[in-house]
Structure 1
Amino acid sequence: MTVNDDSFTNWKTREEIAESMIPLIGKLHRERDVTVLLHSRSLVNKSVVSILKTHRFARQIAGEELSVTETLPFVRALTELDLGPSQIDIGMLAATYKADDRGLTVEAFTAEAVAGATGANKIERGEGRDVVLYGFGRIGRLVARLLIEKSGSGNGLRLRAMVVRGGGEQDIVKRASLLRRDSIHGQFQGTITVDEANSTIIANGNAIKVIYANDPSEVDYTAYGIKNAILIDNTGKWRDREGLSQHLRPGIDKVVLTAPGKGDVPNIVHGVNHDTLKPDERILSCASCTTNAIVPPLKAMEDEYGVERGHVETVHSFTNDQNLLDNYHKSERRGRSAPLNMVITETGAASAVAKALPDLKARITGSSIRVPVPDVSIAILNLQLKRETTREEVLDHLREVSLTSPLRRQIDFITAPDAVSSDFIGSRHASIVDAGALKVEGDNAILYLWYDNEFGYSCQVIRVVQHVSGVEYPTYPAPAV
């Protein structure tokens, strides 16, 4: 047998194993609200090739490829347990099992590692929580996709309605088309139909009522059977407590803003300060995409090395608030053509750090350059540390944070030498550390952090909504603190 034949046979074997995983993973998700992860990447509703690619990607962060032959026994073991709603990382299970020297079987080790989600310890499945989108722009549509994707069991977040201004003839058809096809993020994974008579979009069985209103005061959500809902305002029109309070109408319990909040509105970066939210807080902000990108790695560096001061420069993709061609704009420079220019502008991310990391005393400054790409940005975080270190030490620290810490859903890590911005379209992490670009000299460290400012940020929004709704399920094995 030639090397080529041997490689192909090996590939077909791995395909068969990955194929056998799919119904097991799907059943765990639909029947028990269990999401199977591989190094924080969901394997739910993934194809055979996608599962194999996710296993291979493990070499970028863990140093070696993970084989489906190693992880399949853990998936099988999970199906035999009395599991409650949870997220279970089979990549972490495989890694910790390999390091364990007690000689346990896979089944015994798995049962021990996820004991907090089984039997008397498991969370009881609830009825789900209603969600309303106020606005249906770039972030609104991506949040909608994520909500629909995560509605498999019917016991989590349920997208019930979206509120928009009337747009004329075939408005609902056009909005459904924008949900179905996206020039950056590709086709919607599933089916979408439109019931114009009832002003409803049906996506993968989720009936989403389209409510037309020019102002929050015009809507009584209980008239649509919506109760105790979380409303996600992705218009950015109101950013202080007084303005956002207008959304607290009948049927709405909490309001989440997808832009930096002003005044006393809490700015929440999931993974960093979400646990500081008071249960009775009804209005909160998910801060900005750039704040979400820089705060988790900034916390990781502060916790290990201490930070004296820092500066963040974001090279940011252009956004809808810029002009396609030169025209009047209320902000300086943003009136110049976005797809034709690099545009220096301001960023509020540096000042927002204080809200998310109040214990950080270091002064952080920031500025931004908008560039002619439609998605994915990079933050260059230049830090003066409280002690000297080496490039190797910082790389090892950030790799470990991305794998085993409570920030592993926020921080990703890549060693690919030829990575460019388009490689990170669709990333679900708040930021991705580019190992090859990292610079360290003495007490100075410069981190290059990629982030999908649309999709990665939308994932952070969903995590915050899950947390405040009570349907954020624990992850096993538990991350190292």
Structure 2
Amino acid sequence: MTVKDDSFTDWKNREEIAESMIPMIGRLHRERDVTVLLHSRSLVNKSVVSILKTHRFARQIAGEELSVTDTLPFVQALTTLDLGPSQIDIGRLAEIYQADDRGLSVAEFTAEAVAGATGGNKIDRREPRDVVLYGFGRIGRLVARLLIEKAGSGNGLRLRAIVVRGGGDQDIIKRASLLRRDSIHGQFQGTITVDEAESAIIANGNTIKVIYANDPSEVDYTAYGINNAILIDNTGKWRDREGLSQHLRPGIDKVVLTAPGKGDVPNIVHGVNHDTIKPDEQILSCASCTTNAIVPPLKAMADEYGVLRGHVETVHSFTNDQNLLDNYHKADRRGRSAPLNMVITETGAASAVAKALPDLEAPITGSSIRVPVPDVSIAILSLRLGRETTREEVLDHLRDVSLTSPLKRQIDFTTAPDAVSSDFIGSRHSSIVDAGATKVDGDNAILYLWYDNEFGYSCQVVRVVQHVTGVEYPTYPAPAV
């Protein structure tokens, strides 16, 4: 048999194995609220090819390719356990098992590693928690996709309604179409129908009421059977406590803003300071996409090396706030054509660092340039460190953080030599370290951090909402601290 035939036979075998994993992963998710991960990447509702690609991607960050032949036994072992709601990373299980020298079988090792999620240690499955989206623009529709995707067994978060201003004839049909098709993020994974008589969009069986209102004061959510809900404001119209408090209407318990909050509104970067949210806090912000991109790696560097000062320069994709063609705009430069120009603007991300990392005394400055790409940005983080180090040490540290630390859902790592911005469309991490571009000279380090400023940020928003509603289930094996 030729090498070509051997490779093809191996591929077909791995396809068959991946195919056998899909129903097991699906049942774990639907019946037990268990999400199977591979190095922080969910395998739920993934195709055969997607599962194989996710395994191969492990080669970039872990140094060697992970095969489905290695991970299948762990999935099989999980199906035999009395599991409760949890997230289980089979990539980490396989990695730790390989280093374990006790001679345990895969089944024995797996049972031990996830013992906190089995039997009497299981946490209760949460009752569904209502979610309302106020505004249905770029972030609103991506958050909607994520909430629908994560509906799973019906427990956890349940998108009940979106609130928008009336847009005339066929408004709901056009909004449903924008949810169904996206020029950047592709087709919605599932089915969408419209019930115009009931003013509802039905997405993968989830009935989402479309409520028309010009102001928060016009809506009584209990009239739609919505109670104790989390409202996610995607408009950015109100950013202080007084303005956002208008959303605390009948049926709404908490308000989450998808923009930097002002005044005393807590700015939360999941993975960094989400555990500081007070149980009785009703209003909070998820900060900005750029803040979410720079704060996790900044924390990782500060914890290991100390940071004396820093500057972040963001090269940011253009947004709907800019004009397609030159026209009046209240802000400087943003009136110039976004698809035709690089546009210097300001970023509040640097000042927002103080809210997310109050113990970091280092001054951080920042500026931004908007460029003619529709999505994915890069933050260039230049740091003066507290001690000298080497490029190799920094990369080893950040690779390890991306694999094993509590920040592994926020920080990703790539060694791809030809990586460009479009490669990171759809990334669920808030920040991706580009190893090839990293520069270190003594106590100076420059990190190049890619981020999908739409989808990666939306994932962070959903993580915050999961946390405040109590449906952020524990991960096993537990991340290294």
Could you say whether these structures have the same fold, taking a TM-score greater than 0.5 normalized by the shorter chain as the test?
yes
Q: Which residue of 1 aligns with 2:325?
A: 325
Distance 1:138 1:200 in 2: 19
Distance 2:274 2:126 in 1: 22
Distance 1:99 1:237 in 2: 52
Instruction: Give deviations 1:223-276, integer Å, cap 9, x for gaps.
Output: 000010000000000000000000000000000000000000000000000000
CA RMSD, aligned part only?
0.3
Distance 1:278 1:174 in 2: 39
Deviation at 1:134, TM superposition (A): 0.1
Q: Which residue of 2 aligns with 1:219?
A: 219
Distance 2:346 2:189 in 1: 36
Q: Which residue of 1 aligns with 2:120?
A: 120
Q: Which residue of 2 aligns with 1:345?
A: 345
Distance 1:253 1:102 in 2: 50
Structure 1 spans left out of the alignment, 5+ residues: none
Determine helix, strand or coil for the equivalent of 1:380.
Answer: strand
Distance 2:87 2:420 in 1: 30
Distance 2:402 2:51 in 1: 20
Distance 1:62 1:409 in 2: 15
Distance 1:251 1:444 in 2: 51
Deviation at 1:27, TM superposition (A): 0.2
Distance 2:260 2:25 in 1: 37
Distance 2:126 2:137 in 1: 30
Structure 1 moving runs of 4+ over 2 Å: none
Distance 1:109 1:278 in 2: 37
Distance 2:31 2:124 in 1: 12
Deviation at 1:471, TM superposition (A): 0.4
Instruction: Give deviations 1:392-413, integer Å, cap 9, x for gaps.
Output: 0000000000000000000000
Determine helix, strand or coil for the equivalent of 2:335.
Answer: coil
Distance 2:479 2:112 in 1: 15
Instruction: Give deviations 1:364-416, integer Å, cap 9, x for gaps.
Output: 00000000000000000000001000000000000000000000000000000
Deviation at 1:126, TM superposition (A): 2.1
Distance 1:49 1:203 in 2: 25
Instruction: Give deviations 1:96-126, integer Å, cap 9, x for gaps.
Output: 0001111111001001111111111111112
Distance 1:365 1:300 in 2: 18
2:273 is the counterpart of 1:273:
yes
Determine helix, strand or coil for the equivalent of 1:198.
Answer: coil
Deviation at 1:291, TM superposition (A): 0.0
Deviation at 1:195, TM superposition (A): 0.1
Instruction: Give deviations 1:266-288, integer Å, cap 9, x for gaps.
Output: 00000000000000000000000
Distance 1:31 1:475 in 2: 18
Determine helix, strand or coil for the equivalent of 2:30.
Answer: helix
Distance 1:60 1:462 in 2: 27
Distance 1:194 1:127 in 2: 27
Deviation at 1:127, TM superposition (A): 1.6
Distance 1:220 1:269 in 2: 30
Distance 1:126 1:86 in 2: 12
Q: How does 1:128-147 map to 2 (within 5 A)?
A: 128-147=128-147
Deviation at 1:135, TM superposition (A): 0.2
Q: Which residue of 1 aligns with 2:393?
A: 393
Q: Which residue of 1 aligns with 2:246?
A: 246
Determine helix, strand or coil for the equivalent of 1:256.
Answer: strand
Instruction: Give deviations 1:67-117, integer Å, cap 9, x for gaps.
Output: 000000000000000000000000000000001111111001001111111
Determine helix, strand or coil for the equivalent of 2:177.
Answer: helix
Deviation at 1:322, TM superposition (A): 0.2
Determine helix, strand or coil for the equivalent of 2:36.
Answer: strand
Determine helix, strand or coil for the equivalent of 1:265.
Answer: coil
Instruction: Give deviations 1:412-437, integer Å, cap 9, x for gaps.
Output: 00000000000000000000000000
Q: Which residue of 2 aligns with 1:50?
A: 50
Distance 2:461 2:153 in 1: 20
Percent of residue pairs bearing the same amino acid type: 90
Distance 2:340 2:452 in 1: 21
Distance 1:15 1:156 in 2: 32
Deviation at 1:152, TM superposition (A): 1.1
Deviation at 1:199, TM superposition (A): 0.1
Instruction: Give deviations 1:7-58, integer Å, cap 9, x for gaps.
Output: 0000000000000000000000000000000000000000000000000000
Determine helix, strand or coil for the equivalent of 1:442.
Answer: strand
Deviation at 1:450, TM superposition (A): 0.1
Distance 1:227 1:78 in 2: 35
Distance 1:7 1:433 in 2: 32
Distance 1:96 1:130 in 2: 38
Determine helix, strand or coil for the equivalent of 1:161.
Answer: strand
Structure 2 spans left out of the alignment, 5+ residues: none
Determine helix, strand or coil for the equivalent of 1:432.
Answer: strand
Determine helix, strand or coil for the equivalent of 1:49.
Answer: helix
Distance 2:465 2:99 in 1: 35
TM-score by length of structure 2 reads 1.00
Distance 2:128 2:202 in 1: 18
Distance 1:257 1:281 in 2: 13
Instruction: Give deviations 1:109-158, integer Å, cap 9, x for gaps.
Output: 00111111111111111221000000000000000000000001100100
Q: Which residue of 1 aligns with 2:315?
A: 315
Distance 1:32 1:100 in 2: 28
Determine helix, strand or coil for the equivalent of 2:314.
Answer: strand
Distance 1:113 1:239 in 2: 43
Distance 1:119 1:173 in 2: 47
Determine helix, strand or coil for the equivalent of 1:147.
Answer: helix
Determine helix, strand or coil for the equivalent of 1:293.
Answer: helix
Distance 1:313 1:126 in 2: 42
Distance 2:393 2:125 in 1: 43
Distance 1:189 1:479 in 2: 30
Determine helix, strand or coil for the equivalent of 1:107.
Answer: helix
Deviation at 1:360, TM superposition (A): 0.2
Determine helix, strand or coil for the equivalent of 2:158.
Answer: strand
Determine helix, strand or coil for the equivalent of 1:386.
Answer: strand
